[in-house]
Amino acid sequence: MVLVRKYMKGCSTNSRVLPSAAMWSIDFDSVLVHRRPGCRTVSLGVWFAHGAAHDPSLLAGATHLVEHLTLRRCGGRDRRSLAELMDRLGGEVDAWTSSETMGLAVQTTADALPEALGILKDAALEPSFAPEDVDLERQVALAELELMRDDPSERVGEAILKAAWGDHPLAAPIIGTRETLENLGPRELEIHHQDSLLRHGGMLLAVVGDVDMDQVGRELEGLPLGPGVKRPPLEEPKWVGGRLRLDRGAADQVHVRQAFPAVSIRDPLAPTVAVVSRILGSGHSSRLFQRLREDEGLTYDIWSDTMLRSVGGMLEVGWACSPDRFSTAWAMVEEEILRLPGDISDREVEVAVQGMVRGLQMEAETVAGTASLDVAEVLERGRRFDINSVVEEISSITPEKVREVARMILKPEAMASAVCGPEGSWDARTMV
């Protein structure tokens, strides 16, 4: 039974007034509704609190393969009619798998809400596990795996997780391996879908737009939206700090990743870590972009980003360059990382904070952005998303706190690295 109920008073701040003056409350945050009267577009999605990192080792890739099957055939629709309906919606119908979440989402116009809700519910509850569908999607997943193995940026991105976190589930490939994929049959996937993804309290649903709440409530009947949402447990990863080298024949570029241990997404310092990343390499005015790209022309692009998960995190730096420029680029990146904690300016912090706040405000203006921000806040921090509260938290970050966190994170002795390129394009110093 869907946990949505009407009542006339005592509403939370997340309730919305309907024309009938009835009020809606969202029990246990299982259904997150943001009603926007007059908005012509709607966004709705299902987020499963189970991702690839929660798959048992013998079922590695099972969640990703189930995700593939959700929008192949579902709810009794054949493949062609489902594809036509998805195209008719005119927006986006998508499914994805991450290390800690699997999701389904639809963006379309408000008048198409019944069709969008129907697809979402059928894809979540009734994907096809017919042998022919499983066999085909397994072949697609294997082709995806081979494509990733042929892409140096994907290979080095996968390798940096191993270098940082070793054999922890967060470092395992989301897609699984050839061996595990070949052993995943219809029965195994159907059991995984029922027991791991559709478990009671393992799902959040978000709806944003000018929606009819009675209609939404009727359509959601049957979804296992239970009392609260909880992810399967994961142990905190131990930082390995390894250095991996991947030879790639006569490649034209060397692809590089460096990573430093950071905090989990739930840590109060997470926004400050994001400020450090923006100053270091995220944006046009960042240290690494200005020096290596704008001043020296050593690379087309260089960046930094945070990868913060529920039980751990990292700050990552990445770039690609020609083999003859690798040693010079590496040395300059090392110099900037060593220098940054000691001379972060107040102006750099101001620019980074303002950029984060405005980016967040723009994202929250869109229906899809509101849905994803609210779900992330509930899953990661156990609270509803409120733009004013989050803006206040980010705006309160001080230069002193940024310098302190930079010193805590950017320790060269803790760095993990992965390099993919032609043999002989690195020296022993970088690979110690």
Q: pLDDT tens digits for 324-344?
A: 999 999 999 999 999 999 999
C-alpha distances out from residue 59 to 71, 75, 143, 176, Å: 21, 25, 18, 8
Position with higher pLDDT, 202 vs 27: 202
Q: How confident is the model at residue 24 (pLDDT cuts 50, 70, 90)?
A: very low
Q: State the average pLDDT over residues 2-30.
A: 33
Query: Which residue is associated with the tokens 């239970």?
Result: 226
CB 55 within 8 A of CB 121: no
pLDDT at 308 over 80: yes
pLDDT of residue 430: 53
pLDDT of residue 427: 62
Return all residues near 204 (Cβ < 8 A) that are at least 6 apart: 29, 30, 31, 32, 46, 47, 49, 225, 229, 375, 378, 379
Rg for the chain, CA atoms, rounded? 23
Structural domains in the chain plus CATH codes? 4-219 (3.30.830.10), 243-421 (3.30.830.10)
Position with higher pLDDT, 423 vs 45: 45
Closest residue by Cα to residue 3 from 21, 20, 28: 28
pLDDT digits (tens, 9 = 90+) for 242-300: 999 998 876 789 999 999 999 999 999 999 999 999 999 999 999 999 999 999 999 99
Closest residue by Cα to residue 223 from 200, 256, 253: 200
Q: How confident is the model at residue 220 (pLDDT cuts 50, 70, 90)?
A: confident
Position with higher pLDDT, 106 vs 216: 106
Give the max Cα distance, the chain.
Answer: 72
pLDDT digits (tens, 9 = 90+) for 167-181: 999 999 999 999 999
Distance CA 91, CA 238 (A): 42
Q: Which residue type is seen at 259?
A: A
Angle in degrees, 0-180, between the axes of helices 113-125 and 79-88, rounded to the nearest 10:
140
- Find the range with the poorest average confidence among 118-127, 161-170, 310-319: 118-127
Q: Find the length of the chain.
A: 432
Return all residues near 156 (Cβ < 8 A) that are at least 6 apart: 246, 255, 256, 257, 318, 418, 419, 420
pLDDT at 228 over 80: no
Closest residue by Cα to residue 27 from 48, 12, 45, 41: 12
Query: Which residue is associated with the tokens 């929660």?
Result: 54
pLDDT digits (tens, 9 = 90+) for 138-149: 999 999 999 998
- The pair of three-digit structure tokens given for residue 312, joined into one six-digit string: 């751990």
pLDDT of residue 288: 98
Percent pLDDT > 90 in the chain is 79
| Average pLDDT of the chain, as a whole number | 89
Q: What angle do CA 206, 207, 212 make, to 5 degrees?
A: 145
- The pair of three-digit structure tokens given for residue 84, joined into one six-digit string: 């036509």
Distance CA 347, CA 276 (A): 13
Local structure of 227: helix, strand or coil: coil
What does the buried/exposed string (b/e) look like for 139-157 if buried means 16 or more CB atoms within 10 Å of the residue's CB? eebbeebeebeeebeebbb
pLDDT at 28 over 70: no
Q: Which residues pair with 105 in a beta bridge?
A: 45, 94
What does the buried/exposed string (b/e) look like for 258-288 if buried means 16 or more CB atoms within 10 Å of the residue's CB? bbbbbbbbeeebbbbbbbbbbbbbbbeebbb
Question: In 281-424, at which residue ranges do the beta strands (DSSP E only) sit?
Answer: 302-308, 313-321, 416-421
